[in-house]
């Protein structure tokens, strides 16, 4: 019996150490006043996006939940708008759903066109939505690369003039420490990689693209008061894991439940980059645990950031001269520590 109790005690101690190490959520800061400011949160109906949208609404912002599912998006917006009886409600009536499917460049353009027609202001663009599943989109690109990077790249470009006109404004890109394993090759940009772990590699590549997108956007927007930040929210237990291989889920899901941050904890790092005063000199940097950190070497490669930008413009059909105006309709056809992934 004594040995059994000792074993249980050691397991509990190990669990506590691991939980403390992995679940080091940043402490929430004071709630900023955001009345009169408008925010878009992609993927705002669940996970980190929903938690971010909820907190922005609590601060008084007008929040657009840009999601693919009308049912989930409307339900999330309705829940946040209700009078505050439970923690998921705010009484803020300026929380709206707008359809956005980042796996369709047509949908991205339609969303931007509708938003620019209906909403006169934009101060915060939270590029949060993400997938880890493999596959190919209707536009012919890798699903993770288009949803996690390319769709957000096009969205940001189409809304950039509105962000400038409402400056000071911010773009926050939810990246991941998985960028450490990312590899971007100009000649195969947007194509699914091959190999045994191609889906994981695809995800890592898209997260490297997130880090480099923030870096290059900050460089190009110097002097405009539009700033940009890539943020790793930590180890977060989100629906992203539903795309894990079936053989891995029995191990991964219990670990995620026991050790990872919940969505509201993960959202704190995103909210910090979106609302903390004085971050402007750090535009383009990579953040984790509410502080700037050096990304892995590829994430600091300015040449690669430029190549990615130019390749992304080409893939979505935005010319260098015409890619920054509101509602531009250029088209690609109609149709130093390193944890693991977000």
Q: Any bridge partners for residue 170, and if so which?
A: 124, 227
CA atoms within 13 A on the CB side of 262: 2
Q: How far apart are CA 153 and CA 309, in angstroms?
A: 9
The answer to whether 210 touches 148, Cβ cutoff 8 Å, is yes
Q: How far apart are CA 72 and CA 81, in angstroms?
A: 14
Query: From the candidates 15, 203, 229, 286, which is the catalytic residue?
Result: 203
User: Cβ neighbours of residue 37 under 8 Å, at least 6 residues apart?
Assistant: 60, 61, 62, 121, 123, 124
Is 286 designated active site?
A: no
Q: How far apart are CA 325 and CA 65, in angstroms?
A: 23
- Alpha carbon 39 to chain centroid, angstroms: 14
CA-based torsion, 221, 228, 68, 116: positive or negative: negative
CB atoms within 10 A of CB 121: 14
- State the residue for tokens 């202001």: 121
Instruction: Determine the straight-line distance between the first and last CA of the chain, rounded to whole angstroms.
Output: 41
Q: How far apart are CA 202 and CA 27, in angstroms?
A: 32
| Beta strand spans in the chain (E) | 38-42, 62-67, 95-99, 124-127, 169-174, 226-232, 286-288, 291-293
The residues carrying an active-site annotation are 203
């Amino acid at each position: 019996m004594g040995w059994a109790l000792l074993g249980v005690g050691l397991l509990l101690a190990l669990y506590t150490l691991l939980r403390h190490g992995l679940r080091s959520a940043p402490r929430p800061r004071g709630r900023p006043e955001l009345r009169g400011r408008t925010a878009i949160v992609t993927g705002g109906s669940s996970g980190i996006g929903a938690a971010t949208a909820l907190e922005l609404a609590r601060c008084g912002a007008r929040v657009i939940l840009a999601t693919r599912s009308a049912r989930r998006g409307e339900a999330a917006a309705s829940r946040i708008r209700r009078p505050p009886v439970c923690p998921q409600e705010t009484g803020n009536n300026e929380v709206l759903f707008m359809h956005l499917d980042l796996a369709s460049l047509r949908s991205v353009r339609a969303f931007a066109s509708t938003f620019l027609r209906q909403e006169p202001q934009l101060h915060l663009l939270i590029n949060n939505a993400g997938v880890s599943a493999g596959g190919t989109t209707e536009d012919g690109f890798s699903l993770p690369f288009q949803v996690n990077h390319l769709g957000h790249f096009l969205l940001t470009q189409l809304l950039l003039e509105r962000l400038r006109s409402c400056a000071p404004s911010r773009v926050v890109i939810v990246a991941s420490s998985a960028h450490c394993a990312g590899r971007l090759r100009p000649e195969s940009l947007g194509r699914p990689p091959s190999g045994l772990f191609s889906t994981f590699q695809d995800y890592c590549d898209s997260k490297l693209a997130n880090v480099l997108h923030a870096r290059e956007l900050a460089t190009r927007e110097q002097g405009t008061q539009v700033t940009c930040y890539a943020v790793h929210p930590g180890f977060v237990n989100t629906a992203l894991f539903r795309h894990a291989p079936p053989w891995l889920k029995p191990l991964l899901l219990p670990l995620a439940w026991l050790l990872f941050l919940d969505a509201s904890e993960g959202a704190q790092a995103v909210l910090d980059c979106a609302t903390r005063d004085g971050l402007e000199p750090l535009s383009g940097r990579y953040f984790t645990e509410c502080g700037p950190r050096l990304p892995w070497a590829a994430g600091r490669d300015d040449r690669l950031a430029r190549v990615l930008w130019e390749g992304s413009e080409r893939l979505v059909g935005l010319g260098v001269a015409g890619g920054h105006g509101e509602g531009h309709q250029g088209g690609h056809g109609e149709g130093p520590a390193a944890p693991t992934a977000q």
